[in-house]
Amino acid sequence: MDKPYVLGLDLGGTNSVFGIVDARGEIKATTAIKTGGYADVNDYVEAAAQALEPIIETVGGIDTIRGMGIGAPNGNYYTGNIESAANLEWKGSVPLAKLFSDRLKIPVSITNDANAAAVGEMTYGVARGMKNFIMITLGTGVGSGIVVNGQLVYGSDGFAGELGHVVIDNSPEARVCGCGRKGCLETYCSATGIVRTAREKLLHDPRPSLLRDINPDEITGLEVTKAAQKGDELATEILAFTGETLGKACSNFALFSSPEAFIFFGGPTKAGDFIMEPLRKAYNDNILYIYKGQAKLLLSGLNGSDAAVLGASALGWEAEKL
Amino acid sequence: MDKPYVLGLDLGGTNSVFGIVDARGEIKATTAIKTGGYADVNDYVEAAAQALEPIIETVGGIDTIRGMGIGAPNGNYYTGNIESAANLEWKGSVPLAKLFSDRLKIPVSITNDANAAAVGEMTYGVARGMKNFIMITLGTGVGSGIVVNGQLVYGSDGFAGELGHVVIDNSPEARVCGCGRKGCLETYCSATGIVRTAREKLLHDPRPSLLRDINPDEITGLEVTKAAQKGDELATEILAFTGETLGKACSNFALFSSPEAFIFFGGPTKAGDFIMEPLRKAYNDNILYIYKGQAKLLLSGLNGSDAAVLGASALGWEAEKL
């Protein structure tokens, strides 16, 4: 292969992390800039290009780089644009793929972070060789990337695969979601959802718990996991509820694409079996009989801190000139 | 085109209907045999071949036929088999595509009826030119066929797209489904589901209704529609509940594949706006904001009585030698 590398950009609200990656998913060089502070997106691209110059030189120059992939909030694969991302300062439609492609003279693809994670798993992770799987990313929200016939599902507009907003509770008591609707999966199974469960449980369940030593405003998913690891009953039940809820939801998702695997990624998965065991049980108890035993329920195969850059970079292998 | 026709087989529990179809979806000739009464599937294929012989001659012989498509319960596209269909007398795995291909010497594809309907709409119906849509078939159950990137979603095992079994009610009062689970969409929105809604409503709602003149065991979806057309309030509310429930479910389905359309087919759609208006309202009220105004909610473009054969035949254009 005369162009042995791809460039990945994990564009977050605060930081923009770049990595140069080879075909085996090894990160050869990285750099980063702040995402904020560039009112004009052209200045951001210029700052990025300047930060990239030295690391591109270390791998032999731009001619060794096949393409670039960007994982960004509201990144649209079809248009190459970021579309009105709430937590970025650029408003409206930002043609980020084209700007980077023009500046670096390489093909550039963009999508959202959960989709990038799915492509990353397929290229370097536990989904290598899989043609049908569903990636679930657990963070502030719940994201998803769906792969069918070896292709990411982008849908008619580039925004398919928002399983975090599937309504799983139709009751009047369903939790209010940031999207303005009620009962969305992510209000239960994101890191934020776990904290909501914890606060509710601490309020309504009189049992003692290590979590009562923490200011309710400062409880995090990680604190719940730590308490569970120390044998705390309430914390264990909070994580079990999270896993059960996610497992039930996934048993419905299987009806769409009959995937060979679900792959879970993100902070809450650090709870390991505290979440995954109840998840597996709920999935198996609720799955339609024809799919029984079909799908593996796996944790991401990518190193957490590198996963976002790896996922983004994976898009670069298939990027085409805009 | 030197082979201008395809052959379709709509294989039902009672009848097997065959049609020879041209590229515009015009049925040039049809024939039918009983599905039952052939303990050995080889005898069934032989009887079918003999029934087909004269109609194949009327279009110029087998050399004018590009391929054959079969829509059958539990038809598996990947294997060409019917897998343990409950309402057929052949048990276990039946290699029907291979048997027909060997006998007729043409390529043969098989899938289930809802998937065949989706391919039919894409080839001859309202989904011509669409790359991403979801077909919902309403009958005894609720079936579905999902098209992504212009391809039917078969999933890892050939059995993807069973949206009739998405659990839409998690409450203890959820309806029991034939699959052994509770709260499945089809217990509410199939023709059978409409009848269940009618019986429940007649029991708990004291208002007068034309439906009270019918023996509760003999109420059908069609009777409910007829009553609604005569201005019956209860019947109108039964259909509105059906449409609302289906519209809400579809607003969740959109999160998977962001389709450009949902296409509805089957007996209950004869209720027209009695179902479709509440369906549209519920869909629009519940859809995640990023998909607002995106998907069309359409009725099938295929003539009801021909649709199953047309759908099956459409598979024949792409059938390949097994």
pLDDT in tens, chain A (322 residues): 589 999 999 999 899 999 999 999 999 999 999 999 999 999 999 999 999 999 999 999 999 999 999 999 999 999 999 998 888 999 899 999 999 999 999 999 999 999 999 999 999 999 999 999 999 999 999 999 999 999 999 999 999 999 999 999 999 999 999 999 999 999 999 999 999 999 999 999 999 999 999 998 999 999 999 999 999 999 999 999 999 999 999 999 999 999 999 999 999 999 999 999 999 999 999 999 999 999 999 999 898 788 999 999 999 999 886 5
Question: Which residues in chain A touch residue B161, judged by CB atoms under 8 angstroms apart?
Answer: 255-258
A151 touching B (Cβ < 8 Å): yes
DSSP B30-68: EEEEESSS-SSHHHHHHHHHHHHHHHHHHTT-GGGEEEE
- CB contact set of B297 (below 8 Å; sequence gap of 6+): B247, B250, B261, B262, B264, B276, B279, B280, B283
Question: Between chains, do B168 and A170 touch, taking CB under 8 Å as contact?
Answer: yes
Q: Which of B196, B150, B199 is nearest to B174 (CA)?
A: B196
Residues in chain B with CB shorter than 8 Å from the CB of A159 are 258, 290-291
pTM of the model: 0.95
Mean pLDDT in chain B? 95
Of A188, A185, A210, A191, which is closest to residue A200 (Cα–Cα)? Answer: A188
- Please tell me if residue A318 touches chain B, with a CB cutoff of 8 Å: no
Which of A156, A253, A259 is the closest to B294 by Cβ?
Answer: A156
Q: What is the rounded CA–CA span in Å between residue B131 and residue B36?
A: 37
Query: B257: burial class by Cβ within 10 Å (0-12, 13-18, 19+)?
Result: buried
CA angle A247, A290, A128 (to 5 degrees): 65
**Count of Cβ atoms closer than 10 Å to residue B307 Cβ:** 24
Give me the mean pLDDT over the B198-226 stretch.
Answer: 95
Flag whether pLDDT at B87 surpasses 90.
no
- Residue pair A190/A198 in contact (Cβ under 8 Å)? The answer is no
Residues of chain A found within 8 Å of residue B179, distances taken between Cβ atoms: 288-289
- Nearest residue in A to B134, CA atom: A256
Contact flag A131-B179 (C-beta cutoff 8 Å): no
Contact A146 B257 (CB under 8 A): yes
Mean pLDDT of B81-92: 89
A228 vs A4: CA distance, rounded Å: 45
Q: Which residues contact B206 (CB under 8 A, 6 or more apart)?
A: none
- pLDDT tier for residue B303 given thresholds of 50, 70 and 90: confident
Six-digit token string for A10: 């994990």
- Is the pLDDT score of B305 beyond 90? no
State the virtual CA torsion across B185, B188, B194, B197 in degrees, nearest 10.
180
Report the pLDDT value the prediction gives residue B304, as an integer from 0 to 100: 78
Q: Establish if B69 touches chain A: CB-CB under 8 angstroms.
A: no
Flag whether residue B180 sits within 8 Å of chain A, measured between CB atoms: yes
Looking at the partner chain, which of B157, B169, B291 has a beta carbon nearest the beta carbon of A258? Answer: B157
Angle, helices B233-257/B221-229, rounded to nearest 10 degrees: 120
Contacts of B253 in chain A (CB under 8 A): 256
* Residue A174 contacts B, CB cutoff 8 Å: no
Q: pLDDT band at B41, cuts 50/70/90?
A: very high
Note the pLDDT tens digit of each residue in B151-161.
Answer: 999 999 999 99
When CB atoms are compared, the residue of A153, A167, A248 closest to B252 is: A167
Q: CB-CB: which of B154, B162, B255 is closest to A288?
A: B162
Which residues have C-beta within 8 Å of that of residue B142, sequence separation ≥ 6?
Answer: B136, B163, B164, B185, B186, B189, B190, B193
- Contacts B163 to A, Cβ<8 Å: 255-256
Of B160, B168, B289, the CB nearest to A256: B160
Contacts of A294 (CB under 8 A, 6+ apart): A254, A258, A260, A287, B156, B157
What is the complex's ipTM, to 2 decimals? 0.94
Q: How far is CA A139 from CA A118, A189, A223, in A?
A: 15, 9, 15
**Residue B250 in contact with residue B262, Cβ under 8 Å?**
yes
Q: How confident is the model at residue B322 (pLDDT cuts 50, 70, 90)?
A: low
Instruction: Mark yes or no for CB contact A149/B146 under 8 Å.
Output: no
Residue of A57, A70, A55 lying closest to A100 (CA atoms): A70
Task: Kindly report, residue by residue over B95-104, the tens digit of the pLDDT.
Answer: 999 999 999 9
| B131 vs A: CB within 8 A | yes
pLDDT at A84: 86
User: Which residue shows structure tokens 């529609």?
Assistant: B225
Q: Do B160 and A294 touch (CB under 8 A)?
A: no
What is the Cα–Cα distance from B2 to A147, expressed in whole angstroms?
37
**Rounded-to-integer distance, Cα A135 and Cα A10, Å:** 17
Cα–Cα distance measured from residue A107 to residue A312, given in angstroms and rounded to the nearest whole number = 13
C-beta atoms surrounding A41 within 10 Å:
16
Q: Does B79 touch chain A (CB under 8 A)?
A: no
Contacts of A181 in chain B (CB under 8 A): 286, 288
Q: Which residues of B touch A251 (CB under 8 A)?
A: 167
CA distances from A54 to A101, A272, B309 (A): 18, 39, 63
How many C-beta atoms surround the C-beta of residue A149 within 10 A? Answer: 15
In order of A205, B173, B273, B279, B304, the CA distances from B130 in angstroms are 52, 39, 24, 22, 21
Q: Is B187 helix (H, G, I), strand (E, B) or coil?
A: helix
Residue % of chain B over a pLDDT of 70: 99
pLDDT at B298: 97
Tally A–B CB contacts below 8 A: 129
Residues 6+ apart with CB under 8 A from B275: B239, B240, B242, B243, B246, B268, B269
pLDDT of residue B63: 96
In the 8-state DSSP scheme, what is residue B206? -
Name the phi and psi angles at B51, rounded to 5.
-65, -35
At A263, give phi and psi (nearest 5°): -120, 125
CA–CA min distance B255, chain A (Å): 5
- At A186, list the tokens: 């992510």
Q: Other CB atoms closer than 10 Å to residue B164's CB: what's the count?
A: 26
Separation in Å, CA of A196 to nearest CA in chain B: 20
**A99 Cβ contact list (under 8 Å, min separation 6):** A41, A42, A45
Give the range among A141-155, B48-62, B198-212, B296-310 with minimum mean pLDDT. Answer: B296-310
Angstroms from A29 CA to nearest CA on chain B: 35
Question: DSSP label at B144?
Answer: E
Contacts of A147 (CB under 8 A, 6+ apart): A118, A122, A127, A130, A131, A132, A133, A134, A135, A153, A259
CB neighbours of residue B272 within 10 Å:
13
Contact B275, B239 (CB under 8 A): yes
Q: What is the pLDDT of residue B84?
A: 86
Which residue spans within A60-213 are E strands per DSSP?
Answer: 65-71, 82-83, 93-94, 108-111, 133-138, 142-148, 151-152
pLDDT over threshold 80, residue B321: no
| Least CB–CB distance from A259: residue in B155, B252, B294 | B155
Asked if the C-beta of A84 comes within 8 angstroms of chain B's C-beta atoms, the answer is no
Q: Are strands A5-11 and A65-71 parallel, antiparallel or unpaired?
A: parallel
B231: exposed, middle or buried (Cβ count in 10 Å: 0-12, 13-18, 19+) = exposed
